[in-house]
Amino acid sequence: MKHARGLTMLAGIALLLGVASSPALARKSDDAKPKKEVLYPNATRVEPKLDLSSVKDQKNLNDGLDAVNEGDKAKAEQLLQPIIDGSKSKYAQALALQGMASLHYNDGDTKGAIAALQRSLALGVMPNDTYFQLMYMLAQFQLADEQYQAALDTIAKWRAEGKKETADSYALEGNADYRLGKYPEAIAAITKAKSLTDKPQPTWDQILMASYAESGQDDKAAALATSQLSSNPDDPNVLNNAVAVLMQAHKYPEAIQMLEKARAAGKLGKDTQYVNLAKLYLISGQDSSDPAPNALKAQQVLEDGIGKGVLKPDAETYVLLGQSAEIGNNIDKAIGYYNKAIPLASNGEAALRAGRLLLSENKYSQAKGLVQQAIDKGVQHKGTAYMLLAESERGLKNKPAAIAAMKKAAQDPETAAKARDWLKKTGAE
């Protein structure tokens, strides 16, 4: 499933911006309030003393961080940058750098955000709760920037020094492991994440399924896919992922059953779902002694998708319909579908398919016209097209034209040997 490693857990990284109420900025009256819960009570890091004493720095820092939260980039930079450049307080600098990291990330500058966070952490003056929250944020940013090993290193340090284990941290670890192709490690991390919460994220199972599939554990991947769909029967993304995993595991009947159940319930809402179901029928048909029944089912699925307005009647759809009819030995119907594709196609492939079938029916004149049209419009295998054109001309008793076409085929490396052999046999080499 690498082709599509569409397994991302970064759609909504939460930015930890609750720093305006940090202990250094608290008022004396707050002493009477209940103490805030310590997030990292077992951390091995010694909590540093805070050195923010300047009233001006304190005010500018609070106002700057408020501007970050409000999305006022210009104001935030105006207030925070001078603190970074000139404050005597390392704590103030560290908090200002945190704010700048958030600004960078919001601008899509993940590398800038990472650099700012690293500078902030390197100052070493944050209280433990803030320090470890920022370290966790750094791991998230590194994952978003595809720095997967760096993310793993950061989360390992966060866990070792902060002495904290969370489901999300293991999910992050599993995501990075998967991206690096470390599938056994990804499986272990995601399994651990799921054990630490009663509300695992659906994306975790996507990574777990993909890791099972990539490591050859197809049965486990398929079982998880089926289980996930049973728990989320109305989620189209879960359906797509489950079908993809079953296809990867070559469990085509199970994949067909899933999609057909969804189709019967009116839950196939994407063109790709109809196309995948049709292709599954064709693949299954190839493995049977008689592919015609499955080919007919493929046609019916595609026609159903078109009829419901989900599947566009474009060139690709008509070519797939033509292939289905051709596999089912319904040549006339296949030619009809290909002919529908021809005016919609950007190349000559559909015309070439139709021409080849007409040639097999000894309809040389029609075949010649379509093959020539295919060549003029552009085909991937030009040598093959010229060989078909030569056969059409030969059927029309036009030997000079057949030889001319075959000489063109001889210029293509793919068909050169066959074309030269043909020319040699006809004495026209």
CATH of the domain at 89: 1.25.40
88 DSSP assignment: S
pLDDT of residue 29: 33
Residue 71 CA to residue 349 CA, distance in Å, equals 53
235 within some domain? no
Between CA 328 and CA 337 the distance in angstroms is 13
Count Cα neighbours of 304 within 13 Å in the Cβ-side half-sphere: 18
Residues 88 and 150 in one domain: no
In tens, the pLDDT along 67-96 reads 999 989 999 999 999 999 989 899 999 999
- The tally of domains found in the chain comes to 3
The DSSP call for residue 270 is: S
419 shares a domain with 362? yes
Per-residue pLDDT at 348: 96
Strand, coil or helix: what is 306?
helix
Distance CA 151, CA 60 (A): 32
How would residue 412 be classed by pLDDT, with cut points 50, 70 and 90? very high
Q: Is residue 371 within 8 Å of 387, Cβ to Cβ?
A: no
Helix (H, G, I), strand (E, B) or coil at 358: helix
Least confident piece of the model among 65-74, 219-228, 334-343: 219-228
**Distance between CA atoms of residues 18 and 105, nearest Å:** 16
> Does residue 281 lie in a domain region?
no
The tokens describing 125, both together, are 């003056």
Question: Looking at the predicted structure, is the pLDDT value of residue 53 above 70?
Answer: yes
Q: How confident is the model at residue 22 (pLDDT cuts 50, 70, 90)?
A: very low
Alpha carbon distance 296, 292 (integer Å): 6
Can you list the alpha helix ranges (DSSP code H) found in 24-72?
Answer: 55-70
Q: Which of 29-38, 155-164, 195-204 has the lowest mean pLDDT?
A: 29-38
Choosing from 165, 192, 219, the residue where a domain stops is 192
Distance CA 280, CA 101 (A): 48
How many separate helices (H) and strands (E) can be counted in the chain?
21, 0
One domain for residues 114 and 181: no
Query: Does the pLDDT at position 39 exceed 50?
Result: yes
Reduced to 3 states (helix: H, G, I; strand: E, B; else coil), residue 287 is coil
Distance (Å, rounded) from C-alpha 278 to C-alpha 428? 46
Q: What is the mean pLDDT of residues 299-303?
A: 96
Which pLDDT belongs to residue 219?
Answer: 87
Buried-exposed string 8-41: b where 16+ CB fall within 10 A, e elsewhere:
ebeeeeebbeebbebebbeeeeeeeeeeeeeebe
| pLDDT band, very low/low/confident/very high, at 229 (cuts 50, 70, 90) | confident
If asked whether residues 114 and 155 sit together in one domain, one would say: no
Domain of residue 84: give its range. 52-126
Closest CA to 90 of 128, 59, 48: 48
Co-location of 354 and 421 in the same domain: yes
The domain that contains 372 carries what CATH number? 1.25.40.10
Q: What is the pLDDT of residue 1?
A: 36
Please report whether residue 42 resides in a domain: no
Higher pLDDT among residues 233 and 66, named by residue: 66
Q: What angle do CA 63, 38, 162 make, to 5 degrees?
A: 100
Q: Whole-angstrom Cα distance, residue 176 to residue 225?
A: 21
Q: From 329, 307, 330, select the one nearest 317 (Cα to Cα).
A: 307
- Tell whether 398 is covered by a domain: yes
Can you read off the two tokens belonging to residue 28?
């004396």
Tokens 């911006």 sit on residue: 17
What tokens were used for 258?
Answer: 């899933």
Report yes or no on 64 lying in a domain: yes
Q: Is 245 part of any domain?
A: no
Interior angle at CA 107, CA 104 and CA 108, nearest 5: 90
Provide the H-helix boundaries in 287-330: 292-307, 315-327
Q: Are residues 354 and 423 in the same domain?
A: yes
On the question of pLDDT at 377 being above 90, the answer is yes
CB 263 within 8 A of CB 238: no
Q: Lowest-pLDDT range, 45-49, 272-276, 295-299, 337-341?
A: 45-49
Same domain, 424 and 351: yes
Domain final position from 134, 162, 192:
192
User: Encoding tokens for residue 374?
Assistant: 């295919």
Average pLDDT over residues 115-119: 94
Angle at 19 between CA 132 and CA 97, to 5 degrees: 75
Q: Is residue 24 part of a domain?
A: no
Report residue 294's pLDDT band, with 50, 70 and 90 as the boundaries. Answer: very high
Distance CA 320, CA 354 (A): 13
Q: Quote the distance between the C-alpha of residue 404 and its chain's center.
A: 48
Percentage of the residues of the chain whose pLDDT score is greater than 70 = 92
How buried is residue 1: exposed, middle or buried, by Cβ count under 10 Å (0-12/13-18/19+)? buried
Based on the domain organization, do 155 and 106 belong to the same domain? Answer: no
d(CA 192, CA 184): 12
* Residue 168 structure tokens: 């999300």
Sign of the torsion angle spanned by Cα atoms 133, 137, 143, 146? negative
Residues 6+ apart with CB under 8 A from 232: 202, 238
The rounded mean pLDDT for the chain is: 88
Which pLDDT score is estimated for 227?
Answer: 86
Handedness of CA 97, 101, 102, 104 (dihedral sign): positive
* Average pLDDT, integer, range 210-223: 89
Average pLDDT (96-122) is 93
| Angstrom distance (rounded) from CA 426 to CA 278 | 44
> 317 in a domain, yes or no?
no
Q: Among candidates 412, 413, 409, 407, which has minimal Cα distance to 428?
A: 407
